A and B are shown apart, each in its own frame.
Chain A
């Protein structure tokens, strides 16, 4: 147990207003972000820049606020009663937390993959097309092509090409998650938020998903919440360590794991906490 939380220093500081030029290639910029539910503050004054075209891992103990943060980026917490935010999250300089934000378009640009695979109760083909149809992204004549392209991207095409009209629930858990990924990719997002995307999968499927992420950058920026430090190490270029609602430390994954600056980070990655 840690006695007290040290103040912000080190890595985080350079992200403050003074040095925004440094983050010109940031896809997401977060400034003075505070998030809470009623009187409870879950995220405290976070500042960060997500580098474009990389895999970013968010790590930290349970309750550190990483999932709350993730779900705030595409405004999925909006409907939860008592939820509030302060500060700013912007996508290419465009504010996401404003009342005028076009939520539907935001969610097209910033997709999400959940912990448990959640294909819709419609055919495999319709699942891939769900977002394409919702946003009217392409004429009907291109639908077959889109289905094929995205299923090929996730490596499912061969397995399902003969049963595109079947129920997705006959697929294995790993295949269902890949289908969900194909569904997200089909709307051509810039950022994909992944909330422990492999924690419900078997090891072989985990590998398939991880390989895919590596293959799909730099076209897409992935922000991955994970409880597996090994996974964070394997797949991410950058790692951000959340602790008690604060961004304790962030930097290149290699540096975070080999040379952590903050005592909390050292504790956590050495497996003595969380």
Chain B
């Protein structure tokens, strides 16, 4: 069967137009993604840098002035707590979901995890408040804050862990089985190692969420201008997002400046986290099949 093919010039013109349209649209989309990030960074730097002094990092807050040391330490303590608690539970849940959960049990667990992930953080904050702060009489405290934030990020960590584990090539696993590796050894030497970039990324994002999250902590951690006490109950503590939110609305200039300083510190912390995760990934993937 034969038919008359269309003119070559016409066809290549329409292809060229399609190319240009797609290229333009995707460039625009990219701009929409990048522009706000750059704008935020520039804005914070412009507002914070001119008056920035390193004493902000070393002095505690006093009233509406002073420094941010108590908030910085508070945020770090809470984040480390979240990584330890949510990291442990989240990664173990992810391993369970990827390797052991079968059939109905698996779908129930996944649904529960998805629902938990969909609950707004302020609702979780309220639940944390009524259950831990009031219910258990813990008061505003490090323990209540860490647990509430952990509940927020556990589904996320579990999901990223599960996905990362599922992407480990079956070739590796069968190879290790055929060589007589114990299941636990396959998990530790092959599966977890291969999945580590995904798991680390999940952990880092979880940590970034807990550095940047406000609502759950307002309800559970309270606020303090002293350095955090390392006890789990009755230990209200400061954190950076509180400073951003509260000081921004105060009438004094020093308070406004502190608010921008806090935003700057949060930004630097998050960039550091991203940098650290990149280094970890690069270090562990030296022998990976796809070099990154």
Seen from chain A, the residues whose Cβ lies within 8 Å of a Cβ on chain B are: 74, 76, 103-108, 111-112, 114, 116, 118, 120-123, 126, 130-131, 134-135, 166-169, 180, 183-184, 187
Contact = CB atoms under 8 A, between A and B. Distances in A.
Nearest to A180: B175
Contact of B194 (A112, A121, A131): A121
Given A76-B178, A118-B174, A134-B180, 19 more contacts: A74-B178, A76-B177, A103-B180, A104-B180, A107-B177, A108-B180, A118-B171, A118-B172, A121-B190, A121-B194, A121-B285, A121-B287, A122-B193, A126-B287, A130-B189, A131-B179, A134-B181, A134-B182, A167-B286
B287 A134 contact: no
Contacts, number: 76
Contacts of A114: 171, 174-175, 178
Interface of B: 169, 171-172, 174-182, 185, 189-190, 193-194, 285-289, 291
Contacts of B172: 118, 120-121
Given A114-B175, A134-B185, A121 B180 contact: no
Contacts of A108: 179-180
A112 B178 contact: yes
A104 B193 CA distance: 21
B180 A167 contact: no
A123 B182 CA distance: 20
A123 B176 CA distance: 15
A135 B288 contact: no
Nearest to B186: A134
B177 A167 contact: no
Nearest to B290: A169
Contacts of A183: 179
B177 A134 contact: no
A248 to B, nearest CB: 27
B286 A120 contact: no
Contact of B176 (A103, A120, A135, A166): A120
A107 B287 contact: no
A147 B285 CA distance: 22
A122 to B, nearest CB: 5
Contacts of B169: 118
A116 to B, nearest CB: 6
Contact of A107 (B171, B178, B286, B288): B178
Nearest to B168: A121
Contact of A104 (B174, B182, B194, B289): B182
Contacts of B190: 120-121
Contact of B178 (A105, A111, A116, A168): A111
A187 B179 contact: yes
Given A107-B178, A123-B287, A134-B182, A116 B171 contact: yes
